[in-house]
C-alpha cells in the first residue's frame, strides 16, 4: 500500500483513536492500530475488545492496502515529525514512513489477526447529533461509579423514549440525570441501554457537535456512525437500579445560592476536610448557608454565604467533592438545593427555564455529635 497525508491530520486521527488502546495487553495485536487505505481515504481503527473505534480521514492513496502498526510507536513517531506531508508505503508487515528528510521502518502485525468489529444495522437506528449525545453524557458520566464492585453502576443509563431522551449515572451516593427532547427520527419504541462512559467520551472525541449520527444497538452492542467514523461499544448488562424510586418528591426545604460563591466556599472547606470522608457540615437558616469542617489532627474551618431559604433550619453533612462535582455541571449562575432531613437525599438543580432538564441527587454523610 502507499498513501500520503498531512502530518497534522494524520496526528489528529491517530491521537483520537489510539487513546483507547490499552497500555498493557496479553494480545499484542490489540496494541496496534489498523490502517486501511482505499479510495482516497484512510481509515484508522483501534479496539480494546470492549470498545472499538474507526476514524476516517482524507489521504492521497496511490495503492490500496491494509496494515497494523504499533499504536504508541506510530503516534509518537508522527508527533515528532515536521508539519509536512507524510508518505507511508510498504507491503505486508514491513512499512516505511517518510517525511522530509526523516525515514522510518516499522514492523507491523498481520491485518488478518486484528479483531473484527461488530455488525449492527444502522439503517434501523435512530438519528441524533453528536452534540446531543455529548451534552447528555457530559452532564452525567462523572457521577458513574469507578469501583469494580457493582459493574452496572460503572455505566451510564441511556433511556430513549418518544418525546425525550435522558441519561442517568450514579455511584450509589450521588446521581445525575439529564433530559433532552428527542431529536427527529427517534425509533418510536422506548429503549434503554447501559453504556460505558469511555464509549460516550470517545463519541465526543471523534465527532463534531453538529455531526449527524446513526445510533444502532442490539442486546450486546451499541454503535454510533457518522461521516467521520464509527464507535462500537459493548453494553453493560443487567437491570439498572430503580433510580426513579430514590428521587425524593417531598423535599420541603428550599435554598437558592450563587453557584460560584457556593463552590468557592466548598473548595475552601475541602482543604481542611478529612482525606477519607471529605465531610463538610452545612447549616442553613433564613438567609445564610454556613459551612463548618472539623477534622481531628488536621484542624477546623468555617465560612458562610448568603442564600434564600424556605423551610425549617437544617444541619446536614456532605462529601464536599460530591457537591463540587455536581455544581460544576449546573449551567446557571444560581443553584437550587432542596432538602427533607439530614439523612435524606438533597436535590440540586439549575434555576430558571432549564430547571427540569438537569437534576442531581447527593446523599448526605451522617453527622455525628
Partner 1 sequence: MPDPRSILHVDLDAFYVAVERLRDPSLVGKPVVVGADPRGGRGRGVVAAASYEARAFGIHSAMPIGEAYRRCPGGVYVAGHRDLYARAARAVRRVFVEFTPAVEPVSIDEAYLDLTGTERLHGPPAQTAERIRSAILEQTRLPVSMGLGTTKTIAKIASDLAKPEGLLHVLPGREAVFLAPLPLRCLPGVGPATRERLVKYNLKTVGDLARLDQAVLTGALGEHGSHFLARATGGGGTRVASREHPKSVSRECTFDIDTTDLEFCEAMLFYLSERVCHDLRAQRLTARTVTLKLRHHDFTTLARSITLSSPTDSDRTVAKAARELFRVACGPRPNIRLLGVGVSNLVMAAPQLELFASPRARAWDRLMDPIDRLRKRYGTGVVRSGPTLTLRDRDPAE
Q: What does the binding site for partner 1 look like in residue numbers (CB under 8 A)?
A: 145, 147, 149-150, 170, 172-175, 241, 246, 274, 276-277, 279, 296, 317, 319, 343, 345, 361, 363-368
Nearest-5° angle of CA 338, CA 339, CA 342?
155
What's the length of the chain?
369
Of 52 and 145, CB closest to partner 1:
145
CA 262 to chain centre: 25
CB of 284 to partner 1, least distance (A): 18
- Find residue 265's DSSP bridge partners: none
CB of 280 to partner 1, least distance (A): 10
Of 172 and 306, CB closest to partner 1:
172
Q: Output the CA torsion 335→340→344→348 (10° steps).
A: -10
CB hemisphere CA count around 212 (13 angstroms) = 8
Residue 170 Cα distances to 141, 157, 198, 329, angstroms: 8, 9, 15, 15
CB of 276 to partner 1, least distance (A): 4
Of 26 and 296, CB closest to partner 1:
296
- Find residue 316's DSSP bridge partners: 282
CB of 217 to partner 1, least distance (A): 26
Of 108 and 364, CB closest to partner 1:
364
Of 204 and 317, CB closest to partner 1:
317
CB of 62 to partner 1, least distance (A): 55
Q: Is 338 helix (H, G, I), strand (E, B) or coil?
A: strand
Please check whether residue 119 is in contact with residue 133, taking contact to mean a CB–CB distance below 8 angstroms: no
CB of 81 to partner 1, least distance (A): 46
d(CA 274, CA 49): 39
Of 97 and 362, CB closest to partner 1:
362
Nearest-5° angle of CA 101, CA 104, CA 107?
170
Phi, psi of 253 (to 5 degrees): -115, 130
- To the nearest 10 degrees (0 to 180), the angle between helices 130-140 and 197-206 is 140
CB of 348 to partner 1, least distance (A): 14
Of 80 and 247, CB closest to partner 1:
247
Amino acid at each position: 500500500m502507499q498513501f500520503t497525508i498531512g502530518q497534522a491530520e494524520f496526528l489528529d486521527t491517530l491521537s483520537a483513536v489510539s487513546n483507547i488502546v490499552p497500555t498493557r495487553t496479553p494480545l499484542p495485536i490489540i496494541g496496534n492500530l489498523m490502517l486501511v487505505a482505499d479510495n482516497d481515504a484512510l481509515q484508522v481503527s483501534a479496539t480494546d475488545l470492549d470498545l472499538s473505534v474507526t476514524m476516517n480521514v482524507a489521504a492521497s492513496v496511490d495503492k490500496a492496502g491494509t496494515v497494523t502498526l504499533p499504536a504508541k510507536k506510530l503516534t509518537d513517531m508522527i508527533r515528532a515529525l515536521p508539519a509536512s506531508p507524510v508518505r507511508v508505503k510498504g507491503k505486508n508487515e514491513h512499512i516505511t514512513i517518510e517525511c522530509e528528510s526523516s525515514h522510518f521502518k516499522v514492523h507491523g502485525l498481520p491485518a488478518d489477526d486484528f479483531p473484527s468489529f461488530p455488525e449492527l444495522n444502522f439503517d434501523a437506528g435512530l438519528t441524533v447529533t453528536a452534540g446531543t449525545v455529548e451534552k447528555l453524557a457530559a452532564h452525567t458520566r462523572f457521577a458513574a461509579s469507578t469501583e469494580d464492585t457493582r459493574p452496572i453502576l460503572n455505566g451510564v443509563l441511556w433511556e430513549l423514549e418518544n418525546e425525550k431522551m435522558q441519561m442517568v449515572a450514579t455511584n450509589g451516593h450521588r446521581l445525575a440525570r439529564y433530559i433532552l427532547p428527542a431529536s427527529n427520527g427517534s425509533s418510536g419504541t422506548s429503549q434503554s441501554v447501559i453504556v460505558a462512559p469511555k464509549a460516550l467520551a470517545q463519541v465526543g472525541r471523534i465527532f463534531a457537535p453538529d455531526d449527524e449520527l446513526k445510533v444502532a444497538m442490539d442486546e450486546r452492542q451499541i454503535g454510533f456512525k457518522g461521516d467521520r467514523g464509527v464507535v462500537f461499544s459493548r453494553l453493560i448488562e443487567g437491570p439498572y437500579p430503580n433510580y426513579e424510586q430514590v428521587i425524593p418528591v417531598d423535599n420541603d426545604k428550599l435554598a437558592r445560592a450563587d453557584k460560584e460563591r457556593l463552590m468557592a466556599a466548598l473548595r475552601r472547606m475541602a482543604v481542611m476536610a478529612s482525606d477519607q470522608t471529605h465531610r463538610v457540615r452545612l447549616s442553613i437558616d433564613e438567609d445564610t448557608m454556613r459551612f463548618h469542617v472539623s477534622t481531628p489532627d488536621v484542624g477546623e474551618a468555617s465560612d458562610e454565604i448568603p442564600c434564600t431559604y424556605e423551610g425549617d433550619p437544617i444541619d446536614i453533612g456532605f462529601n464536599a467533592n460530591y457537591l463540587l462535582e455536581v455544581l460544576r455541571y449546573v449551567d446557571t449562575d444560581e443553584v437550587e438545593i432542596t432538602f427533607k432531613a439530614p439523612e435524606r437525599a438533597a436535590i440540586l438543580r439549575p434555576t430558571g427555564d432549564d430547571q427540569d432538564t438537569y437534576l442531581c441527587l447527593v446523599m448526605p454523610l451522617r453527622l455525628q455529635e
